[in-house]
Structure 1
Amino acid sequence: MLAGTEDLEILEKQGNQLFPIFLKLENFNTLLVGAGNVGLEKLEAMLANSPHAAITIVADRVLESVNSLADNFPQLQIHQRVFQSSDLDNKELVVLATDNHELHKEIHKLCKEKGILLNVADTPELCDFYLGSIVKKGNLKIAISTNGKSPTIAKRIKEVLNDNIPSEIDESLENINKLRNTLSGDFTEKVKKLNEITAGLVTKDETKGYITPKKLSFIIWSIVVVFCAILFVTLYERDPEFNTFINNVNPEFYKFLAAGFVFAMIDGAIGMSYGVTTTTFSLSMGIPPASASTGVHISEILSNGIAGWMHYKMGNVNKKLFKLLVVAGIIGAVTGAYLLSSLEHYSHYTKPIISVYTFSLGVLILRKAFLAQQRAKKKIKTKKITKIKPLGFFGGFIDAVGGGGWGTIVLSSLIAGGRHARFSLGSVKLSRFFIALMSSLTFITMLDNLHWYVVSGLVLGSAIASPIAAKVSNKISAKSIMVAVGVIVILASSKNIIGFILSFFRS
């Protein structure tokens, strides 16, 4: 409670004295004077937050983009002419966005006489209110004000909040609202009960099934150690080539060592394409599709386990999304691995089919490289994807059959479908560990000859690259890497396809 003059003086020294409110803009008659670039920005801001707002636009020059908005928002009225004092009749809010400072002063005087609230672009001293930067996540809306000092700072803070507040927060709001409607008692009791429930959002109870990063690290390393032990003991007796590899290193091993290093560096830079690049390279070296996919998945077990653990530790994993992806992805991956292994004896037929698949992924990577910036500039909004299980199954199946594509297909679909990029990446990386593990176990069980110089080369190469990739990735343009990867994959896949066609006609 304010006690007197001293308290008032203290508040005045604290800086921003604006009183924040949220207006139901559809209940007001609003006038926008100016329809150039600044006017368009103001108009888009108002419509983005209040799509039913009734806005009258007066300007002697109207951008085509403003006319296009009027096609989608029929309640907008556009008058292409100079401002008239009668334009203020029945108006309750006015926004000025012209480059005519004298006109702004004149309208400011008229608004004061009529008791109309006024906002003037880039002229804080004439404003009764500001249009601040807005962060919107469903029903959650946060307005940011710098007291008119720096709109740029407000925009930067908006970007930070947009990137770090997940879209899934709206689901939490909906659930809390449903719970609130079921509570009985007076207001105090309802608040107390909601405080008890929402305390879990900031304090995690590890006794109620919450897996800590330390526990997850132990689980991942235990799985890896057990997997390696079983692999070594079982195959030393069963696979003649494995026994030979232990005693005599195949010179081809070093080529796959280098390939594993390079492709893991690329994957670290853009978050995808390790599988497709490695598979394309393996096929071009004469490795059958099932063995190529085996090498990819075994080499990905440890790297994705570490990456998934790091994302989990940093809070980048959406647990609900992870569960949906990992179950469906494992089923799809095991199914795909079983099918491909069963067709290993027909590799001369499956190899060109897989090459066509990797060719299409190369085209997809190129397309993503050139469309990413366009989508960002146009601020294209898409409806959030909800069919996670079918996506996980399809991604796991295609990844096992084609030797890669989990990141390219699943991660791309999640982000393009409106999912938060950071939480999508973390969930995809962690689920990839379990999918690679189950695919590898299926391949090992089904195949007699795994080309161990391929597997070991890729495992060691990718392991060496993992700690280096993150540092190097910040120094290279992601777009340049994606273009290079797309071109290389397309050329190598084309070589395999053309080779099959030539051999077919010769026979």
Structure 2
Amino acid sequence: MQPSPNQNIVEVSPASDKGNQLFPVFIKLNELRTLLVGAGNVGLEKLNAIVNNSEEAKVTVVAQEINAAVFEIAASKPNVKIKQKAFTADDLDDVDIVFAATNDNTFNAELRSLVHQKGLLINVADKPELCDFYLGSIVQKGDLKIAISTNGKSPTIAKRLKEILNDGIPNELDQTLQNMSALRQNLSGDFTAKVKKLNKVTERLVNPQKSFAERNIKWLIWLVAVAFILAVGFTLWETEPQFQAFLTHIDPLFYWFLGAGFVFAMIDGAIGMSYGVTSASFSLAMGLPPASASMAIHISEVMSNGIAGWMHYKMGNVNWKLFKILIVPAIIGAILGAYILSSLEHYSAYVKPIVGIYTLFLGVVILVKAFNIKRKRNKEKIKKIGPLGFVGGFIDAAFGGGWGSIVLSSLIAGGRHPLFSLGTVKISRFFIATLSSLTFFTMLGGKYWEAVLGLVIGSALASPIAARVSNKISAKTIMVAVGIIVILVSLRSVIMFILKLI
């Protein structure tokens, strides 16, 4: 079993097939004498795992060929000694615990036999059957350490659980731990009284008090969505005679946007992005001004994002601390972007190519993601959440899309956990879509309602089956096709504007 660089739990491994029979114990390597045999890439990982968790560990490294990085660690850690030579039985003298990191299986088996003759324990890299103990994935928050074991079955599962716990457990918990330690030292009374007091203090860790919004988020989403739809429908009925005529004569534009909304929602369900950019590109190509196109997109997203946000809430994928920091600046940015774009509706001929350039850029972004061109992920979590929300909300409203591409990508690239980032971004999107839609509707009224209604109904019809279809089609294939289509449609808008100027 190959360790991650953040490991040092030792788990004694009795032979049994009745589930995980390992007994986890934490070893004070700082007080033991450790022997590491082998100093290649795997040996380097073992050494990093030891010194990262036990900085004062006394480690002797024995190997004929030694990775240069091992020498660097030894130079910075005075307790790490290197013997560049072939292993001999004498190297086991004055040793308490042994790690083997060689690719010679015959030697590893012989070494294990020698170690057992000395009454010592050994860990052999990538050979669970030769190990007396395993190295488990470690989650650390100051003095708090959590060990994860899969009984040697799947280091990948252990790694994924480590990522979830690392992001889900706040760094501030270590401060709580220090406070509890101080409180424990000052408690009076017998053991039972102390336990009751400590249990009462820590009860909120198990049963945290949720805010009113957190407890009633489902009803809040449905109330906002239903009130929004009723308000828009009533206003159209009272102020737009054409809307009433729609019941007897349906404009063909409705059918075009009905099909488009269905297809774009299916794509979004398959790859988790691009509804805004594909809808914006299509709307501009169909002759809608940028403000009306953005209004149609955001109104159609109200219900779908409300449902998606509620589902993420039910699955526990929402980081409420992140949500509170993100939501207010994002709403302000969205309202401002919607107001400015609506105010420029009379200049739509000039705004349209700008939006076309923006969607052209997003089309390139989709292609880049399709071919898995990776950017280096920061180790430090992104800090400027408020400004990010404002910029994302503004651009999303002003250009018809981009909230997910900008905010979600930035959060993940900035070290935030993908699962919790997705859930938080989705539930935030509901409120952003609702308020930006109201701003557009207040400024523009019921223009191009055939497009709006088509997108709303089309995306709603696609929602129940999008997830199933996504399992049948390659996400990469869809992303490549979407990227190319968006780029071509966007180029058409820009070229048409240039030809008009000529």
TM-score strictly above 0.5:
yes
> Residues 58 and 175 (structure 1 numbering): CA distance in 2 closer, same or farther, change over 3 Å?
closer
Distance in 1 between the 2:278 and 2:196 partners? 55
> Is 1:180 aligned to residue 197 of structure 2?
no
Unaligned runs of 5+ in 1: 1-10
> Residues 475 and 80 (structure 1 numbering): CA distance in 2 closer, same or farther, change over 3 Å?
farther
Which residue in 2 is equivalent to 1:4? Answer: none
Q: State the TM-score, normalized to the length of structure 2.
A: 0.84
> Residues 28 and 335 (structure 1 numbering): CA distance in 2 closer, same or farther, change over 3 Å?
farther
Which residue identity is paired with 2:314? K
Distance in 2 between the 1:501 and 1:25 partners? 71
Which residue in 1 is equivalent to 2:100? Answer: 96
Query: Deviation at 1:179?
Result: 4.2
Unaligned runs of 5+ in 2: 1-14
Residue by residue, what CA displacement relative to the aligned partner does 1:177-200 show, whole Å, maximum 9, x if unpaired?
254256342475554334224334
Which residue identity is paired with 1:120? V
Which residue in 1 is equivalent to 2:141? Answer: 138
Aligned residues: 480
Residue by residue, what CA displacement relative to the aligned partner does 1:253-277 show, whole Å, maximum 9, x if unpaired?
1111111111111111222221111
Which residue identity is paired with 2:299? I
Question: 1:481 is matched with which residue: 468, 478, 483?
Answer: 478
Which residue in 2 is equivalent to 1:361? Answer: 362
- Indicate if the aligned counterparts of 1:328 and 1:390 stay in contact, CA closer than 8 A: yes
Which residue identity is paired with 2:187? G
- 1:305-454 pair list within 5 angstroms: 305-371=306-372, 382-448=379-445, 450-454=447-451
- Indicate if the aligned counterparts of 1:166 and 1:423 stay in contact, CA closer than 8 A: no
Query: Deviation at 1:77?
Result: 6.3
Q: State the TM-score, normalized to the length of structure 1.
A: 0.83
Query: Deviation at 1:499?
Result: 2.0
Distance in 1 between the 2:122 and 2:390 partners? 55
Which residue identity is paired with 2:38? G
- Indicate if the aligned counterparts of 2:139 and 2:165 stay in contact, CA closer than 8 A: no
- Indicate if the aligned counterparts of 1:329 and 1:392 stay in contact, CA closer than 8 A: yes
> Is 1:255 aligned to residue 256 of structure 2?
yes
Distance in 1 between the 2:119 and 2:217 partners? 62
- Indicate if the aligned counterparts of 2:74 and 2:81 stay in contact, CA closer than 8 A: no
Give the secondary-structure state (helix, strand or coil) at the position aligned to 1:132: strand
Which residue identity is paired with 2:368? R
Distance in 1 between the 2:369 and 2:398 partners? 23
Residue by residue, what CA displacement relative to the aligned partner does 1:10-66 show, whole Å, maximum 9, x if unpaired?
x9998877553323545655432234564455345445645776655444455xxx4
Distance in 2 between the 1:293 and 1:143 partners? 49
Residue by residue, what CA displacement relative to the aligned partner does 1:132-156 show, whole Å, maximum 9, x if unpaired?
231425345333446xxx5224x25
Give the secondary-structure state (helix, strand or coil) at the position aligned to 2:139: strand
Query: Deviation at 1:232?
Result: 2.3
> Residues 18 and 308 (structure 1 numbering): CA distance in 2 closer, same or farther, change over 3 Å?
closer
> Residues 355 and 422 (structure 1 numbering): CA distance in 2 closer, same or farther, change over 3 Å?
same
Query: Deviation at 1:106?
Result: 4.9
- Indicate if the aligned counterparts of 1:276 and 1:358 stay in contact, CA closer than 8 A: yes
Aligned residues: CA RMSD: 3.4
- Indicate if the aligned counterparts of 1:304 and 1:433 stay in contact, CA closer than 8 A: yes
> Residues 287 and 68 (structure 1 numbering): CA distance in 2 closer, same or farther, change over 3 Å?
farther
Distance in 2 between the 1:271 and 1:13 partners? 40
Distance in 2 between the 1:346 and 1:434 partners? 28
Query: Deviation at 1:306?
Result: 0.9
> Residues 503 and 31 (structure 1 numbering): CA distance in 2 closer, same or farther, change over 3 Å?
farther
Q: Percent of aligned positions with the same letter in both sequences?
A: 55
Name whichever of 325-334 and 357-366 sits farther off.
357-366
Question: 1:195 is matched with which residue: 196, 199, 202?
Answer: 199
